[in-house]
Amino acid sequence: MKPFAYHQPDQIPDAAKLLTSIEDSKLVAGGMTLIPTLKQRLANPAALIDLSKLPGLKGISDGAAITIGAMTPHAEVAASKLVQAKIPALAALASMIGDPAVRSRGTIGGSVANNDPAADYPAGVLGLGATIVTSAREILADKFFLGLFETALQSGEIITAIRFPLPLKAGYAKFKAPASRYALVGVFVAKFADGVRVAVTGAGPGVFRVPPMEQALSQNFDPSAIAAIKIDTDGLTSDIHAEADYRAHLVTVMAKRAVDAALG
């Protein structure tokens, strides 16, 4: 690991200024992705900017939507009585992330900003049609996730919170890699008054929606409505863990389980 400067600002504008003024600097939230990357020498930033001292970035609040601060750990989301009552599928998703150590340190903002193609939170954020609140603006989930580790965040922009609308029903199911617990395929399904959203993680280079499933479930919110829907393998991931055709099969299987979870 190469030497780097370390900064721990106590105001969001100061953190944003550091991020834009120091070339090749990186933000640190929980560090669950960044620290292993540094240890493996896959990244060599000139500076790390620690967000842990910034005020107002941690916690869960109620209202017309559930708002979760960017520095809120996965374990806190999973254990939240408020989230369990209002969006139980989101609490369940958080409880499936990694292991207890990862859930204690990893944060929702860090996970969403990193946009790992096999991370769980992007499926929940896109599936619920959440809004990503940053230091500069608000970004709808449909406009936020752009591709492999790529988001709509601009230089100096920091996620401060994520706002989740309340679904009528929602469920999440994933087939996880046994060692990493990352999703080989994870599917989040959410039913709203105006229709259904289906978001898939792990299957491709980034999280994506499945319109045919959304249309079928909007007509009949039951696993049988999507049982015959086949996912095109074009663009899906093939690697040492699973081939594209297997992942395509898993999308339908996990989507059915997610609907079952929502109904249950």
Q: Which sequence spans correspond to the domains of the chain?
A: 1-50, 169-263
From 3.60.9.10, 3.30.565.10, 3.30.390.50, 3.40.50.300, which CATH number describes the 169-263 domain? 3.30.390.50
Instruction: Give the residue, 34 or 130, on which the prediction is more confident.
Output: 130
Please tell me the predicted confidence (pLDDT) of residue 100. 94
**Sign of the alpha-carbon torsion through 239, 243, 249, 253:** negative
Please tell me the predicted confidence (pLDDT) of residue 1. 67
**Sign of the alpha-carbon torsion through 45, 150, 201, 16:** positive
Could you tell me the pLDDT band of residue 151, with boundaries at 50, 70 and 90? very high
| Cβ(25)–Cβ(45) below 8 Å | yes
Give the span between the Cα atoms of 43 and 37, in whole angstroms: 6
- For residue 241 the two structure tokens come to 């863990």
List pLDDT tens digits, range 208-258: 999 999 999 999 999 999 999 999 999 999 999 999 999 999 999 999 999
Please tell me the predicted confidence (pLDDT) of residue 108. 98
Please tell me the predicted confidence (pLDDT) of residue 174. 97
Could you tell me the pLDDT band of residue 179, with boundaries at 50, 70 and 90? confident
Write out the E strands in 43-182: 47-50, 60-61, 65-69, 131-134, 138-140, 145-147, 150-151, 159-165, 169-176
* Residue 63 DSSP symbol: S
Domain 1-50 bears CATH identifier 3.10.580.20 = no
